[in-house]
């Protein structure tokens, strides 16, 4: 299949390019200036040039704190963009895979969110992503949105890379222990799109494979416990690691409010799409192999 990926050097886009190619697809991944998803003319040019048979949108405005000050830009990329991409895909008669976030929820439920729970974003980023889901699905009913969380990979900026950097610089790390969620690795999220595309391409609007689905890694954890796993993995690869102390969200204020409990229930995705939440501890090992090197025992 000819697959157009919106976004090129982002975390998920990078993995999509590699994994779609391995699966035998003809992949074109584009970013500004070749493709600006906020510009209908730019999207039309990309569609005319590449005539895609499926579209995966991995482009987004992901600066959660900065979004509080750059509301217009966040909404342009995260809300207008998916709407324009959906409209172009609908005109071309092709399906769309899109990624969204647990930040569409306020984190107050006290249990993992299902796709039937009402969103209530606490900040601009979450609000813009929710508007994008709605704009995409209104424009193209043959769309599948995967809501995910805590995306990490060897590429780009993410929590694993930040913790490895801080671990090398500091004697002590203090990490929030009262926010719950699940790390999700970009390669696993790209694999989900690779698995989905043939089914979406063959399915008509209204098929159960279209709609919004939750997909994170498993099991659920906290930032603190995730950090513990990162540091253990770094130590197993010969790195000296600092002391780790749990702190509360109140002790680490950020500009945008984060959901205290953004756990997503991924059972519908397993049941309907046959895509299982990947064990993030295994994915983390792969990521650390790429970033730090193999474990000392396997050298």
Ligand X SMILES: NC(=O)c1ccc[n+]([C@@H]2O[C@H](COP(=O)([O-])OP(=O)(O)OC[C@H]3O[C@@H](n4cnc5c(N)ncnc54)[C@H](OP(=O)(O)O)[C@@H]3O)[C@@H](O)[C@H]2O)c1
List residues with catalytic annotation. Answer: 125
Residues forming contacts to ligand X in the complex (CB under 6 A) are 6-7, 9-12, 31-32, 35-38, 58-62, 77, 81, 99, 101, 129, 148-151, 156
**What gap in Å lies between CA 14 and CA 18, rounded to an integer?**
7
C-alpha dihedral, 71 to 73 to 74 to 75, nearest 10°: 80
Kindly tell me which of 32 and 293 has the beta carbon lying closer to ligand X: 32
- The closest alpha carbon to 117, from 135, 130, 99, belongs to 130
**Backbone torsions φ then ψ of 24, nearest 5 degrees:** 95, 10
Helices 223-236 and 280-291 sit at what angle, rounded to 10 degrees? Answer: 50
- Cβ proximity of 266 and 214 under 8 Å: yes
Of 11, 6, 8, the closest CA to residue 158 belongs to: 11
Q: Considering only CA atoms, which of 53, 45, 46, 6 is closest in space to residue 26?
A: 53
Pair 63, 12: CB distance under 8 Å: no
The C-alpha atoms of residue 231 and residue 215 are separated, in whole angstroms, by: 25
């Amino acid at each position: 299949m000819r697959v157009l990926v919106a976004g090129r050097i982002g975390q998920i886009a990078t993995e999509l390019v590699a994994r779609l190619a391995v699966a035998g697809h003809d992949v074109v991944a584009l970013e500004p200036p070749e493709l600006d998803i906020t510009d209908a003319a730019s999207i039309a040019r990309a569609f005319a040039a590449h005539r895609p048979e499926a579209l995966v949108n991995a482009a987004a405005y992901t600066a959660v704190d900065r979004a509080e000050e750059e509301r217009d830009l966040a909404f342009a990329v995260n809300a207008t963009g998916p709407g324009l991409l959906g409209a172009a895909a609908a005109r071309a008669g092709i399906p769309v895979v899109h990624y969204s976030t647990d930040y569409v929820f306020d984190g107050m439920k006290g249990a993992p969110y299902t796709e039937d729970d009402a969103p209530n974003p606490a900040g601009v980023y979450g609000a813009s992503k929710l508007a994008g889901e709605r704009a995409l699905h209104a424009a193209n009913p043959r769309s599948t949105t995967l809501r995910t969380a805590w995306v990490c990979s060897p590429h780009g900026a993410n929590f694993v890379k930040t913790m490895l950097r801080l671990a090398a610089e500091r004697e002590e790390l203090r990490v929030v222990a009262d926010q719950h969620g699940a790390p999700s690795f970009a390669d696993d999220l790209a694999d989900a799109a690779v698995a989905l595309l043939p089914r979406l391409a063959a399915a008509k609007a209204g098929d159960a494979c279209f709609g919004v689905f939750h997909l994170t890694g498993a099991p659920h954890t906290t930032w603190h416990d995730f950090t513990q796993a990162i540091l253990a993995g770094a130590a197993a690869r010969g790195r000296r690691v600092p002391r780790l102390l749990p702190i509360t969200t109140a002790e680490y204020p950020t500009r945008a409010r984060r959901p205290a409990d953004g756990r997503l229930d991924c059972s519908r995705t397993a049941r309907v799409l046959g895509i299982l939440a990947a064990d993030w501890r295994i994915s983390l090992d792969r990521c650390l192999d790429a970033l730090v090197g193999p474990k000392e025992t396997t050298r």
